[in-house]
């Protein structure tokens, strides 16, 4: 029977220097982190995952994982909502990331993917056996970080809380975003924005969204069928703490995006990615705005530990 390796974030392959994977308490050669074709993970997408980032500080020669506690807590919550057997507690989930990074010892920024999934060969209603994997790959700034990206409002509708809960990071959820992303790319855009089943703006396939209109930050609320994004919450804090701006969390119409002064995506992978046009209508002058730029600066400064602020966001590897 064919076996497939657990792969990197973008289906990536083994990268020199990163040839290890964590699997169920052990750090193994990357190619040995296997999952069976008959597993519910393969058959039904029965998995939950986190994408984390760790930032290399060249001046201090240290690597910090960003917001590891928040990611560990959300992964446990995702597994609970899918009624997986309770095999891995918060401490084990958290330690798994650090265990792998302490073997690989990267001296560059990395993206980490941690998955809890249904192993074995069970049926659709299986609750176990449960496995946990972690892999890490080199990473850099997301596409469009400097110049912005072109987005398309998708004709695909965002999944909703009564179908597949977007609030959690369930592997199967991502088939919804995949359809939107493939359509957008085929149509010549960089990314998609999905509306929810009530016709309001939800999010991108892998990131949340903010707009700035007349100095007021606005973002779809957590009942708009979005992932409960960790970065989104931190953006709200940064906007308040450093820029004195209170974010309004509410339903957002698509045409509000066309007339906004600034629109950006946020997320672990997206960091803060400016959107320069939507449906070929340019956002303001088509250039990243001042609030977007400032949030990029603040986020990277804290993440990399170049700023002394918010040390609780960083965990030393």
Residue ranges in contact with ligand PLP by CB under 6 A: 51, 177, 203, 206-208, 227, 229-232, 267-269
5 versus 51: smaller Cβ distance to ligand PLP: 51
Please answer whether residues 130 and 79 qualify as being in contact, where contact means their C-beta atoms are separated by less than 8 angstroms.
Answer: yes
Distance, C-alpha 290 to centroid of its chain: 24
Of residues 141, 153, 228, 239, the one with CA closest to residue 196: 153
Closest distance of CB 246 from ligand PLP, Å:
20
Give the CA angle between residues 125, 50, 314 to the nearest 5°: 150
232 versus 314: smaller Cβ distance to ligand PLP: 232
Q: Which of 3, 43, 143, 169 is catalytic?
A: 169
Tokens of 67: 């917001």
Rounded Cα–Cα distance for residues 303 and 272 (Å): 12
Closest distance of CB 177 from ligand PLP, Å:
6
Closest distance of CB 140 from ligand PLP, Å:
16
Burial (CB count <10 Å: 0-12, 13-18, 19+), residue 280: exposed
Closest distance of CB 221 from ligand PLP, Å:
14
Residues paired with residue 66 on neighbouring β-strands, in sequence order: 314
Closest distance of CB 49 from ligand PLP, Å:
9
133 versus 268: smaller Cβ distance to ligand PLP: 268
Rounded Cα–Cα distance for residues 153 and 192 (Å): 6
43 among known catalytic residues: no
126 versus 134: smaller Cβ distance to ligand PLP: 134
Residue with tokens 């990267």: 106
Residue with tokens 């708009």: 224
Tokens of 171: 């592997």
43 versus 178: smaller Cβ distance to ligand PLP: 178
9 versus 34: smaller Cβ distance to ligand PLP: 9
Q: What is 43-111 written as a DSSP string?
A: HH--EEEEEEEEEEETTTTEEEEESHHHHHHHHHHHHHHTT------HHHHHHHHHHHHHHH--SS-EE
Closest distance of CB 227 from ligand PLP, Å:
4
Q: Any idea which residues carry the catalytic annotation?
A: 169
């Amino acid at each position: 029977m064919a076996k497939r390796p657990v792969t990197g974030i973008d289906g990536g392959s083994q990268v020199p220097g990163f040839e290890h994977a964590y699997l169920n308490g052990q750090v193994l050669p990357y190619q040995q982190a296997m999952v069976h074709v008959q597993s519910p993970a393969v058959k039904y997408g029965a998995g939950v995952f986190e994408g984390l980032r760790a930032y290399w500080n060249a001046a201090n020669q240290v690597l910090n994982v960003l917001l590891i506690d928040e990611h560990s807590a959300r992964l446990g919550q995702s597994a609970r909502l899918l009624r997986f057997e309770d095999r891995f507690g918060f401490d084990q989930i958290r330690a798994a990331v650090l265990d792998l990074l302490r073997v690989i010892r990267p001296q560059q920024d990395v993206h980490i993917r941690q998955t809890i999934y249904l192993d074995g060969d069970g049926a659709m209603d299986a609750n176990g056996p449960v496995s946990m994997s972690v892999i890490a790959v080199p990473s850099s700034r997301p596409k469009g970080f400097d110049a912005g990206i072109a987005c398309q409002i998708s004709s695909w509708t965002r999944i909703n809380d009564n179908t597949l809960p977007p609030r959690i990071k369930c592997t199967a959820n991502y088939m919804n975003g995949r359809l939107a992303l493939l359509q957008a790319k085929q149509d010549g855009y960089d990314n998609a924005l999905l509306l929810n089943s009530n016709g309001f703006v939800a999010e991108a396939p892998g990131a949340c969204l903010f707009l700035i209109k007349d100095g007021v930050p606005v973002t779809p609320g957590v009942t708009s069928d979005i992932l409960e994004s960790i970065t989104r919450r931190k953006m709200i804090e940064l906007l308040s703490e450093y820029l004195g701006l209170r974010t309004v969390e509410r339903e957002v119409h698509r045409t509000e995006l066309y007339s906004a002064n600034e629109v950006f995506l946020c997320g672990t992978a997206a960091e803060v990615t400016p959107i320069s046009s939507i449906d070929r209508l340019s956002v303001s002058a088509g250039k990243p705005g001042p609030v977007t730029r400032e949030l990029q600066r603040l986020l990277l400064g804290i993440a990399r530990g170049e700023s002394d602020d918010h040390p609780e966001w960083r965990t030393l590897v």
